[in-house]
């Protein structure tokens, strides 16, 4: 059974910046004791209430009948208890009933929910993103009508982007909006892959829908964002008639069985007096993508937390199994009979690799959350710096952490051996659930493109250069810590940063020269290089700041066993583009 690693979470939070926030009194009324109390209760709820229902959710799944989706047994009551605990409102604005706590604390709790059940945590994740989007972009009237119910979790929200012909390219979407003449709009179209588009957890569902007006410019510049509720809301806040939107089908998926992935139909006349789902504009006409990106950036960090969570949970399960399962006699085993497989060097390597992936991913994602917090809490003259830091780390947090979750879940199955391929052990469910995370909220390839083309050039490249310099200072601090584990690791960390710096300058030069195709050939290996070089330094920072000898030993293992990958990744970035394009020209001939 999953048990939240509260001490590791607190250690990483403090090292990635929460301690600084507390020391500078930037988070009103928040203290170390309150942080510990919040996380301890979150850990209890995740382990004792969510985790026991995860298996039921996976086996029963969500069911659709007559446009009504039923979630697994016990889930509606579980969701109500979760809301009653105030968890949906953790980082939400106090003006609307939220607790206004730092994003760092929210993502730490989000890690626990996802470790306990990724399928359960998905729904509230989107609501949190919608709250941020409405807070920044919606009219006062919309906020007055919807924010309190969304912040409390009494209502849930969705994000409606994808259509059959418009996946990553949102400029191709066809869902249309028509002005109704009374300040509202009528929405017509189809959306696919809509997480929790229909369910029985809340009485109303608030859809955030991208659509195109008749006179809109072509492409992504002609997209608007609309709020479309399942039930219309009266002036007194009570629910009124059903809106003209419904779930036509749910997907049968590799994993996340309890999370309904819906095809949503808008405006076909099934509900309402006349065709057309009633919607309200969020932000300005034809500026919807900018509004939606507020929600998407929130969701991308949250998806990164799914990777951290699954890596941690898969590691815990694999470790427990390896300590019980006995096979052969490991070198140096002095006990009677067969030794636990955890005593075999290759199994030790797999377990340490899983733990390293979890720790590195946690450090990167928490560091990203700290930047998000500081972009709001810092002195005005420093907010641009912190916003650029959040921009830089968001694609890395989303892509590397989700890849790490997949890798750790796969290693967890390997540790279980043949039993890992058997559903009854529960090892396979982590892989089945997390495999979608590198795909949704922008594929990891798109995250790499975003990192290279949009985030590296911030401030003319000076921001990323400054970040690498900060990481070098961390290494110097580590080397001066007198922790023996870092004598050799320090050289590996410096070499990794050297590789990162050279690859960064190479990509910046390519883009300055206009050689975008070659630059993009190296985008994916560059993102992994960035994450490995930075992430290993970040966990060394955590080890030094906490004087944690166990983490220091893990840092040395990761540096000496995995950080060498940065050299080959640098070669792929700097010299692999031409060979990629040349080989790709012959793909059809290879078939």
Among candidate residues 507, 505, 506, 558, the one with its CA nearest the CA of residue 533: 558
Query: Does residue 589 have an active-site annotation?
Result: no
- Map residue 284 onto helix, strand or coil: coil
| Plot region of 67 (φ>0 → left; ψ -120 to 50 → alpha; else → beta) | left
The percent helix, strand, coil of the chain (3-state, each to 5) is 65, 10, 25
Q: How far apart are CA 411 and CA 427, in angstroms?
A: 10
Query: What CA–CA distance (Å, rounded) separates 197 from 83?
Result: 19
Contact between 500 and 566 under an 8 Å Cβ cutoff? The reply is yes
> In terms of Cα–Cα distance, which of 438, 499, 62, 479 is closest to 250?
62
Q: Annotated catalytic residue: which of 111, 132, 163, 441?
A: 441
Residue 558 is classified by DSSP as H
| Phi then psi dihedrals of residue 513, to 5 deg | -80, -10
CA dihedral for 515, 516, 522, 526, sign (positive or negative): positive
Other Cβ atoms closer than 10 A to 541: 23
Torsion sign across C-alpha atoms 374, 380, 381, 383: positive
Residue 260 in tokens: 């309904």
Q: Which residues are catalytic?
A: 441
């Amino acid at each position: 059974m999953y048990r939240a690693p509260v001490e590791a979470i607190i250690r990483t939070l403090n090292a990635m910046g929460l301690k600084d926030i507390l020391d500078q009194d930037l988070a009103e009324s928040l203290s170390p004791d309150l942080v510990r109390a919040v996380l301890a209760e979150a850990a209890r709820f995740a382990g004792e209430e969510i985790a026991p229902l995860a298996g039921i959710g996976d086996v029963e799944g969500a069911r659709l009948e007559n446009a009504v989706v039923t979630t697994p047994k016990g889930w509606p009551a579980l969701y109500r208890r979760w809301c009653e605990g105030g968890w949906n409102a953790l980082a939400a604005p106090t003006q609307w009933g939220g607790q206004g706590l730092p994003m760092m604390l929210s993502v730490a709790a989000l890690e626990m929910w996802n470790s306990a059940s990724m399928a359960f945590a998905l729904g509230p994740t989107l609501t949190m993103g919608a709250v941020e989007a409405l807070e920044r972009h919606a009219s006062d009237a919309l906020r007055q009508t919807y924010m309190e119910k969304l912040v409390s979790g009494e209502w849930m929200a969705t994000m409606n982007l994808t259509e059959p012909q418009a996946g990553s390219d949102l400029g191709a979407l066809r869902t249309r909006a028509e002005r109704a003449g009374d300040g509202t709009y009528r929405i017509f179209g189809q959306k696919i892959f809509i997480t929790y588009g229909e369910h029985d957890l809340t009485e109303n569902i608030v859809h955030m829908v991208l659509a195109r007006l008749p006179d809109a410019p072509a492409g992504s510049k002609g997209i608007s964002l609309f709020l479309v509720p399942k039930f219309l809301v009266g002036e007194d806040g009570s629910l009124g008639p059903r809106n003209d939107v419904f779930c036509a089908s749910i997907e049968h998926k590799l994993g996340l069985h309890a999370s309904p992935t819906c095809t949503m139909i808008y405006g076909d006349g099934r509900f309402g007096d006349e065709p057309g789902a009633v919607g309200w504009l969020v932000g300005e006409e034809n500026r919807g993508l900018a509004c939606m990106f507020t929600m998407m950036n929130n969701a991308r960090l949250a998806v990164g937390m799914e990777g951290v969570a699954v890596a941690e949970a898969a590691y815990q399960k694999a470790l427990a199994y390896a300590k019980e399962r006995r096979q052969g006699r490991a070198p140096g085993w002095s006990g009677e009979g067969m030794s636990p497989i955890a005593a075999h060097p290759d199994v030790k390597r797999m377990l340490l690799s899983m733990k390293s992936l979890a720790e590195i991913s946690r450090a990167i994602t928490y560091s990203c959350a700290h930047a998000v917090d500081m972009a709001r809490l810092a002195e005005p003259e420093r907010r641009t710096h912190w916003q650029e830091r959040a921009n830089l780390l968001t694609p890395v947090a989303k892509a590397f952490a989700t890849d790490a979750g997949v890798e750790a879940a796969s290693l967890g199955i390997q540790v279980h051996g043949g039993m890992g391929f058997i559903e009854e052990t529960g090892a396979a469910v982590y892989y089945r659930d997390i495999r979608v995370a590198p795909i949704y909220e922008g594929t990891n390839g798109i995250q790499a493109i975003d990192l290279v083309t949009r985030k590296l050039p911030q401030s003319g490249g000076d921001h990323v250069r400054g970040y690498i310099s900060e990481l070098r200072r961390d290494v110097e601090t580590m080397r001066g810590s007198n922790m023996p584990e870092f004598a050799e690791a320090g050289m590996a960390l410096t070499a990794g940063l050297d590789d990162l710096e050279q690859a960064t300058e190479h990509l910046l030069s390519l883009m300055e020269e206009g050689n975008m195709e070659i630059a993009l050939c190296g985008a994916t290996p560059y993102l992994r290089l960035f994450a490995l070089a930075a992430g290993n330094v970040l966990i060394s920072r955590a080890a030094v700041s906490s004087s944690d000898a166990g983490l220091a030993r893990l840092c040395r293992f990761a540096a000496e066993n995995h950080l060498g990958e940065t050299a080959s990744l640098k070669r792929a970035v700097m010299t692999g583009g031409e060979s990629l394009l040349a080989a790709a020209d012959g793909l059809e001939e290879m078939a």
